[in-house]
């Protein structure tokens, strides 16, 4: 006998509904599975539970769905409720709510941790954490770091783009955020580590613009770095 | 690209992103509607209530702490809204009226026997359960909530969740027996 606490038959049977719906944790699930293997009464009860489960699901499915008008009414109320925002500010919020300390928002810590992890994997966390709220509104411009070149481009992100999608785009293009948000919600990206020929810049622009679900605007920066 | 998690949608909703609200609404409004409809038994009222539920989500997203899943959180809000609506005099008698109507329909054993459909009979029997018993049956079987999640939504201890489901199933077996379906349990 192991050190596991022996569960009596009724205790096991009481867990069967959650065993059937796959909502038991590993250890309990294991115990129920072992008991089921050798107990015909439990097997019969599980069969009854599966019948009940089917009936419950069918009963709920038969209820149908709310009308489209219900959704339209809700979003009409929501639109009246939500504060008017310009798309540019949405971009700033989009970034800010994902990094702790930038905005005093109550954000689930797990989500923050996940977002930060994704950003770190993309190699942009260093640049992002160097921002400070005091310079946030002033479109901080990174001093040109010695020895780093690369193409500099200006982009605006789609407000609906996920952090993961942005991180993936940055990583795929060897890009990192070096400044932003600039006036107009723009961000300055450094792409690669060496100057690009015009043809390469044009190809880069095409690649970025093709990611319409992530990038709303992209253009090479023409002024001095 | 994989779909955004409910938690990430809530974070985006907290920043006022309407598109995230649309995704969350599309993903969950039918289940929330069905949960509420089973309680209030009025489609018009249920539609009004889901609007209230999602408005609460919109307004409270910034306070969501991630202690439960988003779907559990929303079902909890929906339950509160539905119970509040049922306490209003206009709707207090509705549940009983509809229950009576359903029961009358299900009390015809000949009609039920003719169907020879065990699942259909069970569906009708579930309709005859008390609201509390029907609720726990649906939370576990249809909404696939864990013991802990049901305890959080219904605000009862986890052991009570198990015993309440046991008695709901026992009552279901009795009603099934009354309707000619002997399940041989308990």
Q: Where are the domains of chain B?
A: 6-90, 93-178
Find the closest chain A residue to B65 by CA distance.
A108
CATH number of B93-178: 1.10.10.10
Do residue A108 and residue B7 have CB atoms under 8 angstroms apart?
A: yes
Going by C-alpha positions, the residue among B105, B118, B120, B134 that lies closest to residue B184 is B118
Closest Cα in chain A, distance from residue B148 (Å): 10
Side-chain-side CA neighbours of B178 within 13 Å: the count stands at 15
The tens place of each residue's pLDDT in chain A, 225 residues long, gives 443 445 677 889 999 999 999 999 889 999 999 999 999 999 999 999 999 999 999 999 999 999 999 999 999 988 887 664 444 444 444 454 444 444 333 334 444 444 545 555 554 444 444 444 433 333 333 444 434 577 888 888 776 666 667 777 887 888 887 776 665 667 788 888 777 888 888 888 888 888 887 888 888 876 544
Side-chain-side CA neighbours of A88 within 13 Å: the count stands at 10
Q: Assess A86–B contact: CB distance below 8 Å, yes or no.
A: no
Classified as helix, coil or strand, A154 is: strand
Quick check: bond before A129 cis, omega within 30? no
Residues A173 and A201: their CA atoms lie apart, in Å, by: 12
Residues A182 and A133: their CA atoms lie apart, in Å, by: 14
- ∠ CA B41-B45-B48, rounded to 5°: 140
Q: Indicate the residue of B17, B51, B123 with minimum beta-carbon distance to A73.
A: B51
Q: Which two tokens stand for residue B162?
A: 């198990």
Residues A153 and A189: their CA atoms lie apart, in Å, by: 5
Q: Residue window 91-120, chain A: list those with CB within 8 Å of chain B.
A: 93-94, 96-98, 105-111, 114-115
pLDDT digits (tens, 9 = 90+) for B51-91: 999 999 999 999 998 989 999 999 999 999 999 999 876 55
Find the closest chain B residue to A72 by CA distance.
B51
Residues A180 and B85: their CA atoms lie apart, in Å, by: 48
Q: What is the dihedral of CA A213, A214, A220, A221, to 10 degrees?
A: 140
Find the closest chain A residue to B117 by CA distance.
A55
Side-chain-side CA neighbours of A135 within 13 Å: the count stands at 11
Report yes or no: B55 and B74 within 8 Å, Cβ to Cβ: no
Report yes or no: B47 and B82 within 8 Å, Cβ to Cβ: no
Chains A, B: CB pairs < 8 Å: 173
pLDDT digits (tens, 9 = 90+) for B143-182: 999 999 999 999 999 999 999 999 999 999 999 999 888 8
- ipTM exceeds 0.90: no
Q: Which two tokens stand for residue A92?
A: 């700033």
* CATH 1.10.1740.10 applies to domain B6-90: yes
Mention every residue, 6+ apart, whose C-beta is less than 8 A from residue A55. B119, B122, B123, B125, B126
Report yes or no: B18 and B10 within 8 Å, Cβ to Cβ: no
Fold identical between B6-90 and B93-178? Answer: no
Q: What b-and-e string marks burial along A74-105, b requiring 16 or more CB atoms within 10 Å of the CB?
A: bbeebeeeeeeeeeeebbbbbbbbbbeebbeb
């Amino acid at each position: 006998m192991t050190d596991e606490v022996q569960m009596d038959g009724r205790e096991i049977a009481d867990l069967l509904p959650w065993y059937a719906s796959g909502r038991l944790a590993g250890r309990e699930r294991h115990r129920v599975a072992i008991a089921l293997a050798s107990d015909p009464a439990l097997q019969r009860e599980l069969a009854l539970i599966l019948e009940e489960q089917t009936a419950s699901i069918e009963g709920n499915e038969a209820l149908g769905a709310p009308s489209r008008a219900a959704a339209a009414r809700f979003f009409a109320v929501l639109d009246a409720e939500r504060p008017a925002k310009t798309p540019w500010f949405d971009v700033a919020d989009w970034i800010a709510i994902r990094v702790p300390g930038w905005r005093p928002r109550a954000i689930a810590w797990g989500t923050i941790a996940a977002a930060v992890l994704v950003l770190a994997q993309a190699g942009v966390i260093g640049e992002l954490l160097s921002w400070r709220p005091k310079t946030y509104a002033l479109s901080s411009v990174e001093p040109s770091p010695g020895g780093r070149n690369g193409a500099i481009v200006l982009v605006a992100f789609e407000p609906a783009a996920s952090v993961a999608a942005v991180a993936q785009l940055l990583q795929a293009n060897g890009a990192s955020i070096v400044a932003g948000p600039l006036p107009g919600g723009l961000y300055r990206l450094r792409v690669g580590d060496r100057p690009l020929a015009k043809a390469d810049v044009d190809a880069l622009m095409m690649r970025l613009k093709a990611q319409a679900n992530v990038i709303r605007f992209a253009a090479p920066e023409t002024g001095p770095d | 690209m994989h779909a955004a998690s409910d938690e990430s949608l809530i974070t985006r909703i907290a920043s006022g992103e309407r598109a995230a609200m649309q995704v969350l609404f599309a993903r969950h409004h039918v289940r929330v509607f069905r949960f509420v409809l089973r309680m209030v038994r009025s489609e018009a009222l249920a539609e009004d209530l889901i609007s209230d539920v999602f408005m609460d989500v919109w307004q409270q997203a910034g306070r969501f702490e991630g202690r439960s899943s988003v779907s559990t959180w929303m079902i909890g809000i929906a339950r509160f809204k539905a119970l509040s609506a049922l306490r209003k005099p206009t709707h207090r008698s509705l549940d009983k009226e509809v229950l009576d109507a359903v029961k009358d329909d299900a009390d015809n054993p000949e009609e039920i026997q003719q169907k020879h459909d065990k699942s259909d009979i069970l569906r009708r029997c579930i309709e005859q359960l008390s609201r509390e018993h029907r609720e726990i049956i649906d939370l576990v079987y249809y909404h696939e909530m864990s013991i802990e999640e049901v305890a959080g939504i219904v605000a009862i201890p986890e052991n009570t969740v198990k015993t309440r489901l046991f008695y709901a199933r026992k009552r279901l077996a009795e009603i099934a027996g009354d309707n000619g379906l002997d399940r041989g349990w308990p």
